[in-house]
A and B are shown apart, each in its own frame.
Chain A
Amino acid sequence: MKLYQKYFLTMLPIILLCIGSLGFWSFSHSKNALYKSEEENMRLLLNEAVHHIIESRYELLDQTGLADIPAFVQSYQEEAFQELNELSATTNRWFYVISREGKPIYSSDKNNLETLEEWGALVQSLQEKSFDTFKTKGNKTNLYASATFDKTNWNWVIFVSRPEAEVSEQVSSIQSVTIGISLLAVILMGGLLTLTTRRLLIQPITSLQNAAARISRQEPVENINITSNDELGDLARDMEGMSEAIKNKIEEVQIANKAKSMFLAHMSHELRSPLNSILGYADLALSDRDIQTLPQKTQDYIKTISSSGNHLMDLIGDILDFSKIEAGELVLEKNAMSLSELIEETSSMMLLAAREKNNALDVVFPDTIHKWVLGDSVRLRQILMNFLSNAVKFTTDGKITLSLTQKTDDEFTQNLRFEVSDEGIGIPKSKQASLFNAFSQADVSTTRNYGGTGLGLAINKQLVLAMNGQIGIESEEGKGSTFWFEVSLDKTKAPYRREEDVPEHDLTNLKLLLVEDIKVNQIMAKALLEKSGQSVDTADDGFQAIEKVKANDYDVILMDIHMPGMDGVEATQKIRTLQDAVKSSIPIIALTADIETSNLKEYIAGGMNATCTKPLNMDDLLKTLKRVVHEKSVSAA
C-alpha cells in the first residue's frame, strides 16, 4: 500500500471522528439552543399575552371602575381573546386559557377545540414547571409554557403551545444540515489535507524514495526535485551529496577493481609465464631420451622441479582465483557440457593419484540423469578436482567415490547433487563450520602434515554460491567425509561436436610463426613444437612478427599477447589489414596465461582464431592447430 494511501486511510477515521464529534456537539448544542429559544419565545409570548393583552385590559376596567359591568368585562375578555387569535396567527403558536378550576375558556386552535378539555385537565396536574411537554390524544406531543393570572373573575392559567413535531422538524433540518455540512467538511478537509500532505510530504518522500532506488541501482542522482527549505529539502540535498559520494566511491572502487583486475591479469601473466618456462623445460628435460644418462639424483631433482612447479602453479591458480572472487571478477560461463564427460575426465585425472595411495576411486552416474546441461564445465571440474584432491590427500588404503544424483527434475531443469565420499581421517564436528572459510583447515597439523593453502574449499564455496547452489560436508572423525554440493542446471541438447567432424589433418611440416618476447618460453615452445614435427620460425615482438609475415609465408601464427612495444592484439589487427589476402587471413592462435573468458573473447574479437592457455599443453595446442587448419581449409574451399 502506498504511503499516501496509508496516510489517507489513517487520517480519514480521525477526521471523521473529529468532524463527527464536532458535528454531533454542534447538533446537540443547536438542538438545545432551539428548545431553549423556543422556551424563551414562549415566555415572551406569554408575557405579551398575560401582561399586555389580558392584564392591561383588566387594569383598565379596574381603574375606570368598569370591572363590575359584565358587558365591559366580557367585551374586554373577547378583545383579549381576539388579540390572542391575532398573536397566534402571526406567531404560529396556540394559546389556551383555562380557569384555575380546569374549566376551558379559550383556545386559539379553532380546528381542535376538543383538545381544550385536555388542557383543562392539565391545569389540575400542573406542577411548578412552566415549560414542559404535553401529550394530547392522538399521541401528539406539544411543547408548552404556562403562566397564571390571578385576579377576581379572571382566575386563569394561560398556555402557549406548539406541536413538538414542528420543533423536531427544525431539529431534523438542523440534523440534516449538520450531517451535510459535516460530510462536506470531511470531504473538504480530507481533500485539502490529502492535497497538502501529498504536496508537502508524499511527493517529496516519493522523490526521495525514487532517488534512493536510483542510488541503490548505483545510478547517479544529481538533482532531486525538492526545493523546500525544511528537513525534506535538507534530506534531498544530503541524498544528492550521498549519491555524489557513492558515485565517486563506485568510480574509485571500479578504478581499484580495474586496477586489481589488471594487476591480477598482469600478475597471472607475470607469475605463470616464468613458471610456464620452468615447467616446460622440466618436461622437456624429463622427456629427453638423454635424461637416462644423468645420475638418478639429478633425475630426481628435475622431477622435483616439475612437481614443485606444478604445485606452485596450482597455488598460484588458487590464489588468483580467490583474489578474483574477492574482487567480484568471477564470471561463470554457461555453455553446453556433458555431465558424463565431466565426471569421466575428472575421475580419470585423479585416478593415478588415488592409486598411488592405494585408494579405489569409484564413479556413480545414474542413467536417469540428463547428460547435457548448460553450465561452466571448467568451474565444475575445478570444484570436483578440489574435492577429489582432498579426498585423495586425506585417504590411504580406502575408497573414494564420486557420485552424481538427481534431486529434482522437470522439463527444463534438473537439480543435481555431486558427492565425493572418502574413508579418510574425517573432520571433527567443531571444525566443520569453518571449513569453507578462507585459509581454514581442520587444524594446524593438517597444514603441516598434508600441506595446502586452505583456499580450495573456500573457492569451491564461492563457486557453488555463484551457481546459486548449496555446499556442505558430512564427516565423522576417523571414519571419513562426504563433501557435497547441489546446483540446478538447465537441460540442453548435445551440441554439434565439431571436434568429431574434424577430419585428421597432417600437422607435420606446418610452417608456424611463434611470436614470443620471453626467450626461454620461446625456446621451450619451439622445442616442443619441433618435437611434434612442425617447422617453427620465431619473432620477438609484434613489429618483428609483422615484418616476418610480410616477408614469409606461414600456415599458422602462434601469438603471445603481452609483449613490449606492440602486443599480440595490435599485431593481429595489423596483420589482418595487410593487402595480401592470404597473409591477412593467416590463422592466429593466442598464447596467453590469461584465463579470463572475457579477455579470451576479446582476443577472438580482435581477429585471432583461437586461444591456448599457458603453460602450454601440447595436446590442447595440437588440437587447436588441427581445428584452425581445418577451418582454414574449409574456408579456402
Chain B
Amino acid sequence: MSLSALVIRNTCKFIKPVVPIYMFLACIFGLNVIDKASAAPVKRIVIVETMTIPLIQSTTNWYLKKMNELGYVEGDNIQYVILNAEGSEDKAGNILANELNAFRPNLVMTIATLASRASRLLLKDTDIPQVFVLVADPVQEGFVTTLGGKSGTNITGRTHVIPPATKIEVVKQAMKRATQNKKARIGIINSTYPSAIGATAQLLQLGKNSSEFDFINLNFKYHPGADGKQKMQESAMRLLKERRHEFDYLWLAAGPSGSNPVFLKALQETGIPIIFGNNALASKYGAMISIVSGEKINGTAAAKLVDQIFKGESPGNIPITQPDTYIVSVNITTATKVGTVIPSSLLKLAGKNIYR
C-alpha cells in the first residue's frame, strides 16, 4: 500500500469514533450553557396580611403592581404567597410558621401591626428579611428604637401615620371658630387594637397641654375576625351612648374599625360630629378631616424596600421612616355642623377629597 493510501485509511479509522464523541460533548456543553442562561433565580416572598379590610388589600395590590414595574414578574422571577391572619395575631404566627417550615422564603412582607408583630417573633432570629407596612408605631412594637433610625437587624419598613401633634395642630386650625369661646370636648373612639391604643395614648398625653381641646378616652375591646367587627361595633355604640354627655365631638383613632364602612356609617348615624378620621372613607362618612398616607404610597414604598434588599442592601441598614406624602380628606357638612370653616390651606390639600 502506498503511503498516501495508508494515511487516508488510518485517518478514516481515527475519525469514526472521535466525531461522535466530540458531538456528544458539544451537546452537553451547549445544553449546560443554555440551562445556565435561562435559569434566573425565582424569589419567593410571603405576604402576611393582618386582616381583610380595603386598606390592607389595596396596599397589597399596590405593592404587587410596583414590584412588577420594578421587574419582578410573578411566575418568572418572583413568587408570592399571600396569607391572611383574619385579624388574629396568633393566626398570623401560625400560618407563617407553617409556611416557613414548608419552604424558606427569600423575604417576608407583613401588612399592619398584628401580622408584623407575629412575624417578628418568628423571624427575628433568622436571616430572612422582613418588610412591614401599615404599622402605626414601630417604636412601640420594638422594631426600631426611634423613627428614622435603622433596626440593625433583618427588619425594615414604613409607618403610615402622621405624628399626633401634627394631627392636633391641623384640627386646631380647622376648629378655630368653634373653639374661640370654649374648649372642645373630644372623645377618642378607639379599640384595644395596638395601633389604636398607641395613638390614643399619644393624643391624651398631648391633650393635657392643649388649651383648645379636652380629650376623653372612649376605648372598647378589639375582637379579631369577621365576627369581631360586629362585636366591636356594638361595643362602640354602647360606649358612645353611655358616655355621650362627656364629649361634643369624636376622634377616630387608628385601628381596623376606622376603615370599616359599616362601623363608620353607624357612627355617622349617631349624629355626633367626627372631627378626625384616618382615611378618606372616614371623611366620606362624616369625618371632618382625615389625613393618611394612603395605600398606594405605602404599597409602593414597600416594593422599593424589597427591591433594595434583593439588590443586596441589608434590611438593618435601611431606615424605618414615616411617609412624606399624605392624603387629606375633608367633610364640609361636618365642618358646617361644627360651626367652623376648613382653612383654605387644608381644603387645597384635600384636592378632590372633599365630601359634603
Contact = CB atoms under 8 A, between A and B. Distances in A.
Interface of A: 56-57, 60, 64-66, 69, 71-72, 75-76, 79
A57 B336 contact: no
B332 interface: yes
Contacts of B354: 64
Given A56-B344, A56-B348, A71-B341, 6 more contacts: A60-B347, A64-B354, A72-B342, A75-B177, A76-B344, A79-B343
Given A69-B336, A71-B336, A75-B177, A60 B344 contact: yes
Nearest to A73: B341
Interchain residue pairs A-B with the least CB separation, the first 6: A75-B341, A57-B344, A76-B344, A64-B354, A72-B341, A60-B344
Contacts of B348: 56, 60
Contacts of A76: 341, 344
Q: Max chain A CB contacts within 10 Å: which of B336, B344, B348?
A: B344
A69 B332 CA distance: 10
A280 to B, nearest CB: 145
A443 to B, nearest CB: 129
15 contacts: A56-B348, A60-B344, A60-B348, A64-B347, A64-B354, A65-B356, A69-B332, A69-B336, A71-B336, A72-B341, A72-B342, A75-B177, A76-B341, A76-B344, A79-B343
B354 to A, nearest CB: 5
Nearest to A75: B341
A6 to B, nearest CB: 76
A342 B344 CA distance: 132
A69 B354 CA distance: 14
Nearest to B339: A71
Interface string B335-356: 0100001111001100000101
B137 to A, nearest CB: 34
A76 B335 CA distance: 14
Nearest to B330: A64
Nearest to A57: B344
Contacts of B341: 71-72, 75-76
Nearest to B350: A64
Contacts of A69: 332, 336
Nearest to B177: A75
Contacts of B344: 56-57, 60, 76, 79
Interface string B289-321: 000000000000000000000000000000000
Nearest to A76: B344
A66 B332 contact: yes
A85 to B, nearest CB: 16
Contacts of B342: 72
A72 B341 CA distance: 6
B341 to A, nearest CB: 4
A233 B342 CA distance: 90
A79 B342 CA distance: 11
A252 to B, nearest CB: 108
Nearest to B342: A72
A72 B336 CA distance: 9
A71 B344 CA distance: 12
Contacts of A75: 177, 341, 343
Contacts of B343: 75, 79
Nearest to A72: B341
Nearest to B354: A64
Contacts of A65: 356
A36 to B, nearest CB: 34
A71 B174 CA distance: 13
A56 B349 CA distance: 13
A76 B332 CA distance: 14
A40 B195 CA distance: 54
A76 B343 CA distance: 7
Nearest to A78: B341
A79 B343 CA distance: 8
B288 to A, nearest CB: 13
Interface string B77-97: 000000000000000000000
Contacts of B336: 69, 71
A33 B23 CA distance: 92
Contacts of A72: 332, 341-342
B290 to A, nearest CB: 16
A56 B344 CA distance: 9
Contacts of A64: 332, 347, 354
